[in-house]
Amino acid sequence: MVTFFIILVIVVIAYWFIKDYKRRKVEEELRIWESEIRRKYKKDIAECIINGKVRIGMTSQMCIESWGEPDEINKSIHEAGVDEQWCYNTSDTDTQYLYIDNGILTAIHS
């Protein structure tokens, strides 16, 4: 019985250490990513990206860094350039749309 209790305590302690290690690793990766975003962009844009926001005038790369890759892209090619509609499925019934004209975010629709 004592042996079982000792093994149980060891397993619980090992689980706690592994869980804590993973948490610290994720936190460190997040700090590194935030630092890279702050170094790469002006303060107002960096804060938008870090907080998962997009705004008119952002480049397509900034939008990807903020929201990730879109679930779907609808593209129109014409004389003036390329227009894209980026679709983000935020739930089973809700989709958000970003409109990218020649690499710049020009409209947001929910």
Regarding whether 100 and 69 lie in a shared domain, the answer is yes
The answer to the question of residue 8 being in a domain is yes
Q: What is the CATH number of the domain that holds 59?
A: 3.30.1450.10
Residue 76 sits at φ, ψ, to 5 deg, of -125, 125
Regarding whether 103 and 81 lie in a shared domain, the answer is yes
Sequence-distant (6+) residues with CB within 8 A of 88 are: 67, 70, 71, 95, 96, 97, 98
Q: How many CB atoms lie within 10 A of CB 49?
A: 22
Angle between helices 43-50 and 2-40 (to 10 degrees): 150
By the 8 A CB rule, do 108 and 102 touch? no
**Domain containing residue 28:** 1-40
The answer to the question of residue 102 being in a domain is yes
Regarding whether 31 and 65 lie in a shared domain, the answer is no
pLDDT in tens, 77-105: 989 899 999 999 988 889 999 999 999 99
Helix (H) or strand (E) holding 109, with range, is: strand 104-109
Number of domains in the chain: 2
The rounded distance, in Å, linking the Cα atoms of 19 and 27 is: 12
For each of the chain's 110 residues, which pLDDT tens digit applies?
A: 778 888 888 888 888 989 989 999 999 999 999 999 999 999 999 999 999 999 999 999 999 999 999 999 999 998 989 999 999 998 888 999 999 999 999 999 98
Regarding whether 107 and 61 lie in a shared domain, the answer is yes
CA end-to-end span of the chain: 60
Regarding whether 108 and 58 lie in a shared domain, the answer is yes
